[in-house]
Chains A and B, each alone.
Chain A
Amino acid sequence: MKVKIDKSLAASIVLHILVLGWGLISFSARSYEVPQESLAVDIISTDQLAKMTQGIKNGEKDKPKPLVEKVADAKPVDEAIGKVTEKEITTSAAPKPVEKPVEKKPDPPKQAEEKPKDEPKQADKKPDPAKVDPIAEALKSEEAKKPKPKPKPKQEAKAQPTPPQPKQERVFDQTKIAALLDKRDPTRESITGSALNASASLGTHSGNSQNIVATWKGAFVAAVRRCFSFPYNGMDADQFEADIDIYMRPDGTLASQPTIVAVRGPAASISRAMGESAARAIVQCQAYSFLPKEQYETWKYIPMTFGLKDMM
């Protein structure tokens, strides 16, 4: 039996299919990607940091103020965007034609010069001040929480902690975009502080306090090295080595004279003299009282190898 298909029924079915199909395709869920706000970050290695805070060899000894090359921001920069009116922010997310440039203030914590600083160079148009504020707050509190290795005692100038961004609405003046750009030089390669101080404090011969690994080994090597010097400067200087063992008392002094385990090098008299010179250096530079007492088991026996870099 032929099923009589009504023309209008057929058309209705086709149209329904079309509409439903189109709806299926066009309304398929897509993950909403938050536009990434890129923050230019400069990674400073410990070498660069050590170089910046090294001091100079002929500086004055009692100069407590560290070198400051750039005044850090102590207060928020005055933005030339027009009058600021205090208003209550309503949480209803009605997008208002009010923009506010988001600026990252200098970090309140003590390591003002450690943090690579950069300000977003342009004013970002934020959709909603209410939305931005929590983000800025969250970022700031995260920065404050980040653990930083405490540098050797050089008093850093503290930038004043900035108050949380006041909930303000400002009138955005489009003609004054240029004024919104951050004209300050980037501070990431400079040492910042609250007041300019052009003379560096007295630095050490190597000035590598930032490089020292936070284990006792680095500190111990640096301490012994201070006393160890040897005059041989022939072309084969780097072939001379001396293995020396020491046993330590818990207070950081030697329990006995160093033992010269072995010496190596093309000339026996030079390697012998170098071993003796190294043993003298270890004894001279004691007591190594900075060694952590709770780790005594790891340093009560210390084997070392002394060498000669190319002395030329």
Chain B
Amino acid sequence: MSDTKSITRRRFMMATGSTVAMLGVQPSFAQRLKIDPNAFQPIPIAIPNFGAGSPADGQVGADVAGVITNNLKRSGLFAPIDPAAFIQKTINIDDAPQFQNWKTVNAQALVVGRVTRQSDGRLLAEFRLWDVVSGQQLAGQKYQTAPEFWRRIAHIISDQIYTQLTGEKGYFDSRVVFVDESGAAERRVKKLAIMDQDGANVRYLTRGSDLVLTPRFSPSSQEITYMEFGQGDPKVYLFNIETGQREIVGNFPGMSFSPRFSPDGQRIIMSLQQGGNSNLFVMDLRSKSTTRLTDTPAIDTSPCYSPDGSQICFESDRGGRPQIYVMPAAGGTAQRISFAKDDVNASYSTPVWSPRGDYIAFTRQGGGQFSIGIIKPDGTGERLLTSGFHNEGPTFAPNGRVLMFFRDPGGNSGPSLFTIDITGRNELKQPTPGYASDPAWSPLLS
């Protein structure tokens, strides 16, 4: 009987084998061709001047197109086409475009718009985004605002274009708070200042009589927290941008440093120095109650929340040199994530968590160089974006794709702000009225 059994088994194996073989042979047209992208090329886009609803609006129309062009170009993801090359200089937003004219100048996208001063004094701005290749409209919107906010309209339209063509959130309708520096190198006057992310609309928030450091935005973006060296020890302040009111966050014996808001805007986390070491504390802004988070004979400072508020990253020298640690937001075991394989003596500082949650940016010092880098929260994927004599203090744009930091060339000149993409590309100098340091990027305003 084993014979028949083995025969049937053999037959069975042959049957299954041939079936499997037949299944493996699929008709080729059912398989889709796989296509991966080429090296990234900026998207060519045409942005002619916005049309004027009335003759007086001509200048505003040109200005709005100029702001949009500047934003998209500085992002590094777009290549605005020189208007001198346009076949058609003006275009009516109510007409369908002559796509052949735009294909000739190699545009893939076209922005058409119009601004009109209304009878009630408000400004009406409208735009359409066209896909030149397919001839379809991708986006279109109308906005009304007081005329002096025409720049914000331009930034909002820029964000719309950015999102439509890249799929990611934009970052153009945002502001940057920083420390404006002026005067001689030995006696710098440091004032708190705020500007649009493209460098326009600079406003000074303090007079410069006292030293200010590490300003940070609240997620609701109407308040800033910062450190000021007044009489006695440095203190953490809360500053309302709109009302100009200032208050001290809390009265702590000793010095308080590097304040930051929690993502819900309800708490401020900071480091307090007591004796020779400094530890992390969280203060609830409503109840003013304070919680201690770390208790080590080391310097724990520069704390930062993750975008979901569940974890914090901070800088600590408990292991010898300053390194980056990640810890649950309520306290607990801290995990070191920075390990410089190529330099045992490197130190890491000023960690900041990306709003996308996927990276932590830091300042790294080692081998006579200062570098700005990013690392994943689990400690892998470290990459340095820029290195030099001095680079410090990174801050993320609201979409987590661009970093701003400051660089001090040393000597008699002062520091300046720079932006860079997280791939390390497209490093640009940020326009500021004078020397500038300690930038902090606000969330999107809209």
Contacts and interface: CB of A to CB of B under 8 A. Distances in A.
A224 B35 CA distance: 8
A226 interface: yes
Given A280-B108, A283-B134, A312-B423, A231 B35 contact: no
A234 B376 CA distance: 11
A289 to B, nearest CB: 18
Contacts of A278: 35
A235 B383 CA distance: 14
A273 B131 CA distance: 12
Given A235-B358, A280-B131, A298 B29 contact: yes
A101 to B, nearest CB: 52
Interface in A206-225: 217, 220-221, 224-225
B358 A276 contact: no
B134 A205 contact: no
Given A269-B163, A274-B167, A307 B34 contact: yes
Given A243-B32, A307-B35, A233 B167 contact: no
B275 interface: no
B166 A221 contact: no
B38 A308 contact: no
Interface residues of B, number: 33
A306 B168 contact: no
A230 B423 contact: no
B146 interface: no
A249 interface: no
Interface string B405-443: 000000000000000001100000000000000000000
A247 interface: no
Given A267-B167, A305-B35, A276 B40 contact: no
B33 A303 contact: yes
A198 B39 CA distance: 28
Contacts of B39: 205, 229
B13 to A, nearest CB: 34
B134 A280 contact: yes
B36 interface: yes
Contacts, number: 102
Contact of A231 (B134, B166, B381, B383): B166
A12 B101 CA distance: 115
A227 to B, nearest CB: 8
B358 A229 contact: no
B430 to A, nearest CB: 21
A269 B399 CA distance: 14
A102 interface: no
B133 A283 contact: yes
A301 interface: yes
A221 B34 contact: yes
B249 interface: no
Contacts of A270: 166-168
A18 interface: no
Contacts of A190: none
B164 A229 contact: no
Interface of B: 28-29, 32-41, 43, 77, 108, 131, 133-134, 138, 163-168, 356, 358, 376, 381, 383, 401, 422-423
Given A243-B32, A273-B164, A283-B133, 5 more contacts: A221-B35, A228-B35, A231-B168, A270-B168, A272-B167
25 contacts: A205-B39, A225-B36, A225-B37, A228-B35, A228-B37, A229-B41, A230-B37, A231-B77, A232-B166, A232-B167, A233-B423, A272-B167, A273-B163, A273-B166, A274-B167, A276-B138, A278-B35, A283-B134, A303-B32, A303-B33, A307-B35, A308-B37, A311-B423, A312-B383, A312-B423
